[in-house]
Structure formats: structure tokens, C-alpha cells
Amino acid sequence: MPTLLAALERYARSSEPTPESVLRQLVEHAGWFVPVGFAPTVLQGPTLEHVCQWGDGDNLRDHRLRLYTSAEAGAAALAAGVSMGAYGGPLRGDLVFANLRDEVELDINLPIASHVYIRSVLVDSIRRLARGITLEHAFVGNRGNLIELLQTAEAFDVLVHPEHGIATANGAGGLTNPVMAFTARDCLMMLVKSMDTHASELHTGSAPVLTLLENLEKGECDGLLLNPLGPGPTTLLDRDAALALLADLRKANREACHPTDS
């Protein structure tokens, strides 16, 4: 993934760009190799496509998680005399980073024999971003687990007007006033940076997905627009699609509260 490696190399060598500016590229990278001992927290099942034995080192000590961007990066480290132990992959970054512990620090290893360290203070930010990107995958791809993800999702970022409530995008996608929401903070800030001074009365906030969808049920808006300016994928649901999603979510919540006896 050249864009990821280029950004990480620039950061490793000169602290440019800032750590925050490469977080999405880290999370969207789909080729991560992680310690086999960490893999069960990432995988729904027990299988890994590839398992590599890179020496017999301890790769889970001292609250530092050593990650490799590819099998080639791990092999290069081993050839340079670094012993890491058993690694598996490739894995999607959103699945890897969504499961980080609060106290962990990341040691990201590149094929150029450089390292990028992500301190524990950034773990919450990268974890939230990873969960948002998992939702993005579900909205634009196979929606088989979308409802399950929405049940456990944290509130979406929104823009709020002090008098009119959650901001809408008038005329977007041929709709009248779809409500805007953002799966991740960087998507929200992309829109904030584009706003002119006339939008200065808007402030950032958050709203649970049920609140967003129930606004459509009340007739206050006619659709749901996610990430209107990126960098995450833009998704537009018209009123019918959003209300169908609301019905499925309510049904799943009822079943979770009152599971059927087997």
C-alpha cells in the first residue's frame, strides 16, 4: 500500500505528517501481520491465512504491540537480526486496531527498517476510528452484520444548530434535507474545514443512531447522509431505506432484550 508506507516513512523520518493524519491510512491498511497471541482478539474464527515463525522472541511484552505492514516487512526484520516469534496475517486494520487495550503502545515496522511508534495516548482515537471504519465497510459492502454493528456503535458525530437541531444537507442526492452524520471524527472535520463563516453557528456534537433514524420517522428530514465530503465513503439512504434500517434495528434490540428460548 504505497500511500500508507510513504506517509509512515515521512513521519518516521521527520514527524511529517502528524500522527493523526496517518491514522486512517493505518486503519484502512488490509495487510497487517500481528502476533499470533494477539490474533484471537481480532478474528471471529481461529484461522489465519498465513502464519510466519520469525524467530522465538517475545512479541507481547511491556505493553508494546509490534506490528508489521506485510510479510515482507517481517522477513526484513528477521534478516536484520530481530527475533519476533510467531505472526499471522494479513488482517484488516480496522479489526486489528478496534481491539487495542488502553495501555498498549504500537511499534509499527516498515520494510525500510524504520519504526513508527504510536503512544498509548492515541489509542482511544485510533480505536474509535477503527470502529467507525468497520461501520463504513458494512454500509458500502455486505450489510450482513450492519445491524449488529449499529447495536454496539458509539454515537455518530454530527453538526448541530442551536435552534434547528442536527444539521441537514439541503438538496444532497436529490433529497430535500437529509440529516448529516459522520462515522469518524476525520470525516466530520473534513466538512467543518470546508464551511464558510455563515456556518459558524454550527457546533459539533454526537447522536445515537436511533436518534438519527427516528428524526426521519418524525418527518423532520427525508434521508441520512454519511460522510458528505469523505475521507470515508459517502453513503446516502433515502427515507424508505433509513426507516427499513430503523425497523431492523428495533427488532434486533427487542430480540436482544427478550431472547427466544431454545
Task: For the chain, give every domain's residue range.
Answer: 2-126, 143-257
* H/E segment holding residue 1: none
The pLDDT assigned to 108 comes to 83
User: Would you say the C-alpha torsion 161, 228, 171, 249 has a positive or negative sign?
Assistant: negative
Distance CA 227, CA 191 (A): 8
pLDDT (tens digit per residue) in 91-120: 999 989 998 888 888 888 766 556 677 777
Q: Could you give the C-alpha distances from 162 to 50, 94, 159, 166, 201, in angstroms and in order?
A: 53, 34, 10, 9, 7
Q: How confident is the model at residue 134 (pLDDT cuts 50, 70, 90)?
A: very high
Distances 218 to 31, 178, 213, 214 between C-alpha atoms, Å = 44, 13, 9, 6
Cα-Cα-Cα-Cα torsion 184, 185, 191, 196, nearest 10 degrees, comes to 160
The pTM (predicted TM-score) of the whole model is 0.86
What is the maximal distance between C-alpha atoms in the chain?
Answer: 64
Topology of domain 143-257 in CATH is Trna Endonuclease; Chain: A, domain 1 (3.40.1350)
pLDDT (average), residues 209-216: 91
